[in-house]
Structure 1
Amino acid sequence: METTSRPGAQGAPDEPSTSTDVEAGRAAQDVPEGRGLDGYLLAGFPWYGLDEAFTGPRWLMQVGSAADGTVEHGSTGHGEVPSVRVETEHAKQRFAVVVTVADRPVRRSADGTGTLEATSVSSAAWLAGSGLLSCTWPSQMERALRDDWLNQQTAIAWELAEDPSAPDWTSLSLPVDGVPTPFHYRESEYGWVLAGSSPAQEGVHIGAYGRGMSAYGLGFSVIKDIAGYTG
């Protein structure tokens, strides 16, 4: 799924786009403030976020779109906006990001020169895993070394996402629109990642990542008014 990204709320970490090439899927770089809410409103699928049990801050991140402008995926943030500053202690950060991915079949690219891979739970797992890395700065690591670390860890995240049923993942059941739903789940010293599919909304995959908030107590639901995430 080749996509380009549109930024969301200022200060929110960028979300990587997915691609058949690992290099194209590296953690997102800084991009100028842009369409924000408009990108979410253009989507032809429902957005997911944490359910009403979560009462903390909510904020937009960014959407990813295909070359023809079709919105393919995007993320919504909950809790504190994560920081990658070296002095930030990860243990003090409390956030959860929910990734919504449209289910797409194998299809021709917009320019007709190739094909785009089908999206799946693996796509959601990849976006969630690389998203967590993009807002992570390993302790005791010099600034000059972080890019090398990020490249290495992003490649590993890509490989892990290809098979969510592998031993690196465990099973976790969480409510989605009130329905108990199976997710693939894994933890690391930097946070947690999970991925699954919506039982109520056909054609939508859900990923999530976070730190400082336990994934075991979360629930997901369709966002009725995405404008509520603009503060």
Structure 2
Amino acid sequence: MKTTSRVEADGFLRAPFAWYGLDEAFTGPRRMMQIGTAADGTVQHGSMGHGDEPSIKSEAGSAEKERFAVVVTVAANPERRTGDGTGVLDATTVSSAAWLAGSGLLAHTWPASLDHGLRDHWLDQQTETAFELADDLDGPAWSTLSLPVDGVPVPFHYRESEFGWVLAGSAGDVHIGAYGRGMSAYGLGFSRVKDLGAYGA
């Protein structure tokens, strides 16, 4: 099982926003995954894993039994100046969470029929598609799904693909994205992480 580096664990602990994961209805293993930081080191987003450790879906049937859901928390920030005042940081939106979730799912995906040498090209194409989809959350690729966040129903944008599902929505001062395989998104609930120790901190 992959362990979280000390740097990543420290990043989760010093984030200026609350982390979200699956609620207490999920009783399987939990773990911290990656964090993303701005140039000045401020934590911008991160991922919490639930269930199986995702592997690259490279051989037919090899990952079909995987059951996992990864929850991405993104700090909800308006457009703002960089710390040194020399530039502007892009605002984060629900599309940011959708993009991170979509690209996260792709990172654990590799069609069985694909030659190893073509994977980078395939990944570039799919990543561009995921970006375009995330930028058009009202488009036909997405449906709406209501899921509880801290017990309150929240609307999420939701889509499925042959590789798994992706969803994204907002809750207070964060945007929440999620992706998974083998676990139905329709039965999920999210809640604020009260104890990072449950994720290995």
Query: Do both share a fold (TM > 0.5)?
Result: yes
Q: Distance in 1 between matches of 2:151 and 2:10?
A: 28
Which runs of no fewer than 5 residues in structure 1 stay unpaired? 1-8, 13-32
Report what 1:207 is aligned to. 177
Q: Deviations over 1:50-99 (max 9, x none)?
A: 00000000011011111111111000000000111634623111100000
Report what 1:146 is aligned to. 119
Picking from 16, 36, 39, the partner of 1:64 is: 36
Report what 2:192 is aligned to. 222
Q: Spell out the pairing of 1:36-55 with structure 2 (5 A cutoff).
A: 36-55=8-27
Q: Distance in 2 between matches of 1:134 and 1:102?
A: 22
Q: Distance in 1 between matches of 2:21 and 2:48?
A: 6
Report what 1:156 is aligned to. 129
Q: Distance in 1 between matches of 2:57 and 2:64?
A: 13
Q: Distance in 2 between matches of 1:85 and 1:124?
A: 23
Report what 2:166 is aligned to. 193
Q: Distance in 2 between matches of 1:132 and 1:107?
A: 29
Q: Contact 2:33/2:48 (CA < 8 Å) preserved in 1? A: yes
Report what 1:175 is aligned to. 148
CA RMSD of aligned residues (A): 1.6
Picking from 45, 53, 63, the partner of 1:73 is: 45
Cα offset for 1:10? 3.2
Q: Contact 1:106/1:118 (CA < 8 Å) preserved in 2? A: yes
Picking from 78, 87, 94, the partner of 2:67 is: 94
Report what 1:26 is aligned to. none
Cα offset for 1:41? 0.6
- TM-score, with normalisation over the residues of structure 1? 0.82
Q: Distance in 2 between matches of 1:206 and 1:60?
A: 15
- TM-score, with normalisation over the residues of structure 2? 0.94
Q: Distance in 2 between matches of 1:112 and 1:142?
A: 46
Q: Distance in 1 between matches of 2:83 and 2:109?
A: 34
SS at match of 2:64: helix
Q: Distance in 1 between matches of 2:82 and 2:132?
A: 24
Letter in 2 for 1:226: L
Which runs of no fewer than 5 residues in structure 2 stay unpaired? none
Q: Distance in 2 between matches of 1:160 and 1:11?
A: 32
Cα offset for 1:113? 3.4
Q: Contact 2:37/2:44 (CA < 8 Å) preserved in 1? A: yes
Cα offset for 1:48? 0.2
Between the two proteins, the alignment pairs up a number of residues equal to 200
Q: Contact 1:37/1:227 (CA < 8 Å) preserved in 2? A: no
Identity of aligned residues (%): 65
